[in-house]
A and B are shown apart, each in its own frame.
Chain A
Amino acid sequence: DTGVSQNPRHKITKRGQNVTFRCDPISEHNRLYWYRQTLGQGPEFLTYFQNEAQLEKSRLLSDRFSAERPKGSFSTLEIQRTEQGDSAMYLCASSHRENTGELFFGEGSRLTVL
């Protein structure tokens, strides 16, 4: 069990650029989640995948955000035309279908938009 892996760990970009984050969940976990965390706040739900199907999206996820999990394994989160308000820690978590709700988090990808 190597844990949930996220990269890059840090990304600094200029406003208007596109960025992509990758998440590799724990191998036997079929459920994958993206959360966003800003300073002084807890993680906020963005989206959820069960295998390759994206089953739920938060209203926080504007049209500039898109997430995929093409083969039901790793996932990507892309932010187009970044804005300064997108600066945050983007967290990925996974869980097993037999699990009763425990989330296993990665270390996160910190985005800074200048």
Chain B
Amino acid sequence: AQSVSQHNHHVILSEAASLELGCNYSYGGTVNLFWYVQYPGQHLQLLLKYFSGDPLVKGIKGFEAEFIKSKFSFNLRKPSVQWSDTAEYFCAVKTGGFKTIFGAGTRLFVKA
């Protein structure tokens, strides 16, 4: 069965630190990849997405992610985090069907 694995459940960083959140998926075919973010008290919203082409994709608020097909990975990065990046981050994969499969999420807390 298809699955998505996020490496870290909780991450605590100080402002200006660099961020990398790991995501691996299990599916051998073509995938669409997503990172969603949920800020405290808000609904899930799209951070960035990969469908095809350049494996390095840029999203909102300075986030980027790199698709490495050989590693089945789609890690999220940000060079310098801010307090306002405190949120829960979900990696998600959509295969050929209708459903999108989500990882368990990573809670990021940024200390001011």
Contacts and interface: CB of A to CB of B under 8 A. Distances in A.
Interface residues of A, number: 26
B98 A102 contact: no
A91 B44 contact: yes
Contact of B44 (A31, A50, A56, A105): A105
Given A43-B102, A45-B101, A101 B9 contact: no
Given A56-B97, A103-B100, A42 B105 contact: yes
Q: Which of B45, B97, B99, B103 has the most chain A CB within a 10 Å cutoff?
A: B99
A108 B43 contact: yes
Chain B contact residues: helix, strand, loop or mixed: strand
B84 interface: no
Contact of A101 (B32, B42, B105): B32
Interface of A: 3-4, 31, 33, 35, 40-45, 48, 50, 55-56, 58, 91, 93, 100-103, 105-108
18 contacts: A33-B98, A33-B99, A40-B9, A40-B104, A41-B105, A42-B4, A42-B90, A56-B97, A56-B99, A91-B44, A100-B49, A101-B49, A101-B51, A101-B100, A102-B46, A103-B36, A105-B44, A107-B42
